[in-house]
Amino acid sequence: MLPQESTPLLTNDAESGVVETTKDGAAGDIYDHFNNRRKWSILAMVSASGLLPLFVGGSFVPSIPQIARDLDSTPTIISMAISISILASSIGAMSGATYAGYCASFLCSLPLLFIGSTGVALSRSVPSLMAWRFVQAMGCAPGLSVSAGVIGDIYRLEERGRAMSIFFSACLLGPALAPITGGFAAHYASWRVMQFILGCIGLILFAVMLRYLPETSHPGARKVDKIKMNLDATNDVDAAQNGVQKRPVRFEHPVLLNPLAPLRLLRSPVLIALVSSYFLTVLLIPLVYTLGTRYGISNEALIGACFIPAGLGDMIGAPIIGRISDMTVIRWKKKRNGVWYPEDRLRPALIPMITIVPLSCFASGLLSAYGSGRVGLALNLFCFFLNGLGTEMVWGPCAAYMVDVMHSQSAECIASNAGLRSAILAIGVSTILPMVNSWGVVATNTFASSLTIIGFLLIWSLIRYGDELRAVVDVGFSPSGSSVTP
């Protein structure tokens, strides 16, 4: 059973016989285990870890032409490294979420980021580049999935939307700053310099988390704790039956887990429907060849600067939609006399998903094909801003919703969703440039816009039939309908 918001950290029952108390002797609320200052420091650390995967990906794109020249290859082949890193990110996110219940995933993954980044920087061939990009992406991937679980552990339902929005605002500094940083490094130094810097940042964050990040899981909620309790109970029975002294519980062998285990959650149509909530890559991946070619921009730093509006849209949209989603949950819960319906959080995502996201994508295609001069470029960048704003206003409520309904498995839920979405995007990214070359940018962006309309219909169905869809395959959803929520 999930700990509820009124549940003490340890309950005084037959099983434990202990109650966790605050300094004044009152039973401690499980969400008050950390004070506000401590919560902010935890949020800052996990936000930094969530920023890394987006920074690793965003800083690479403007460097593609230079990398292709350096490794005597073509931009189309080098862009495959993006697909490989997306696939590796999905595997890394699921692995991190799977092991989060047994060990400190951050402390295991960040050294991989350092090793992979160093390998990328030293690569002298395309196969070497691809292999080290895989390791690099694996190392930074758990930052998004495991961080969401940490936020769910320390913030209540009515605070979670704002906390998630702050997290995503920090993370989305990646799309805003990574491209121009990567482009600046590529133009004025070398693309390899950026990779060395990313490795050093990962190493610094590892040292900070090793020293300051506490365990945030609720008491008894970690899988390793449950295994220990079961073994301890078995030990008690054996000792009582055989009249021998109780032996301490020890793990003598490493725990080997299936990194793809979170994918089992995708048996639920609810979690599959949420995959449609994120769509930005189609605009940004071919940027070098659409805007760069149309407006004669060859400087990698300037190409990177074209990514800034999309990142700014993400950053502005995150806090706005976080507050709106929390207010929506509170308002609808009050209308139902305290009854909680999880899908209420998704309501604010509908309008941007049917308007801002598809229209900005379609308009950008038209401007990339027929726009000219500074006015055309400015309007195209404004479309990027609107697309980033709309995408975040869709993704923010969906991410908070996953934490709400899968509270005890929130990291696995985020990871499984990211895994399926990344697999789809890996295929999409590898075909975007051929689509632009064969169909043209207008047809490509029109096709992308139509996909967001399908996503709108899926999210609307989830809001309308949430109870029924969650009942189709119950993968451990938090119970709705009660006045006390997770």
Q: Where are the domains of the chain?
A: 31-217+261-472
Give the pLDDT score at 249: 47
pLDDT digits (tens, 9 = 90+) for 144-184: 778 877 887 888 877 777 788 778 777 777 767 787 888 88
In 3D space, the residue among 246, 286, 236 whose CA is nearest the CA of residue 441 turns out to be 286
Percentage of residues in the chain with pLDDT exceeding 90? Answer: 12
313 contacts 384 by C-beta, under 8 angstroms: yes
In 3D space, the residue among 357, 321, 364 whose CA is nearest the CA of residue 455 turns out to be 357
In eight-state DSSP terms, residue 34 is S
Question: What mean pLDDT value characterizes the chain?
Answer: 76
- The pTM (predicted TM-score) of the whole model is 0.68
Give the pLDDT score at 355: 92
Q: How confident is the model at residue 10 (pLDDT cuts 50, 70, 90)?
A: very low
DSSP reduced 3-state for 21: strand
Whether 243 has a pLDDT exceeding 80, the answer reads no
Q: Which residue has the higher pLDDT, 481 or 211?
A: 211
Angle in degrees, CA 288, 180, 362, rounded to 5: 45
Q: List CB contacts of 99: < 8 A, sequence separation 6 or more.
A: 105, 108, 257
Whether 135 has a pLDDT exceeding 90, the answer reads yes
Backbone angles phi, psi at 21, to 5 degrees: -125, 160
Give the pLDDT score at 241: 55
CATH class of the region 31-217+261-472: mainly alpha
Backbone angles phi, psi at 47, to 5 degrees: -65, -40
H-helix or E-strand spanning residue 369: helix 356-370
In 3D space, the residue among 318, 325, 386, 397 whose CA is nearest the CA of residue 356 turns out to be 386
Q: List CB contacts of 148: < 8 A, sequence separation 6 or more.
A: 164, 167, 399, 402, 403, 410, 411, 414
Which long-range CB contacts under 8 A does 211-214 form with residues at least 24 apart? 212/41, 212/45, 213/42, 213/45, 213/46, 213/104, 213/106, 214/34, 214/38, 214/42
Cα–Cα distance for residue pair 327/340, rounded to 1 Å: 13
Q: How many CA atoms lie within 13 A of 145 on its CB side?
A: 33
Whether 428 has a pLDDT exceeding 80, the answer reads no
Give the pLDDT score at 276: 65
452 contacts 302 by C-beta, under 8 angstroms: no
In eight-state DSSP terms, residue 8 is B
Least confident of 4-13, 25-34, 311-320: 4-13
Percentage of residues in the chain with pLDDT exceeding 70? Answer: 76
272 contacts 421 by C-beta, under 8 angstroms: no
Give the pLDDT score at 229: 54
Whether 485 has a pLDDT exceeding 60, the answer reads no
Give the pLDDT score at 117: 93
Give the pLDDT score at 284: 57
In eight-state DSSP terms, residue 11 is -
Least confident of 14-28, 69-83, 88-102: 14-28
Question: Directed axis angle between helix 356-370 and helix 441-464, to 10°?
Answer: 180
pLDDT digits (tens, 9 = 90+) for 281-336: 555 555 656 676 677 777 766 776 777 888 788 888 888 888 898 899 889 988 88
Whether 473 has a pLDDT exceeding 80, the answer reads yes
Q: How many CA atoms lie within 13 A of 475 on its CB side?
A: 23
Q: Give, in order, the Cα–Cα distances in Å from 27 to each of 9, 21, 144, 218, 392.
A: 8, 5, 33, 15, 38
In 3D space, the residue among 206, 193, 83 whose CA is nearest the CA of residue 142 turns out to be 206
Give the pLDDT score at 33: 77
Give the pLDDT score at 262: 76
In 3D space, the residue among 433, 435, 424, 426 whose CA is nearest the CA of residue 74 turns out to be 433
Give the pLDDT score at 163: 82
Of 364-368, 378-382, 440-444, 447-451, highest mean pLDDT: 378-382
Cα–Cα distance for residue pair 277/166, rounded to 1 Å: 19
196 contacts 184 by C-beta, under 8 angstroms: no
Whether 433 has a pLDDT exceeding 80, the answer reads no
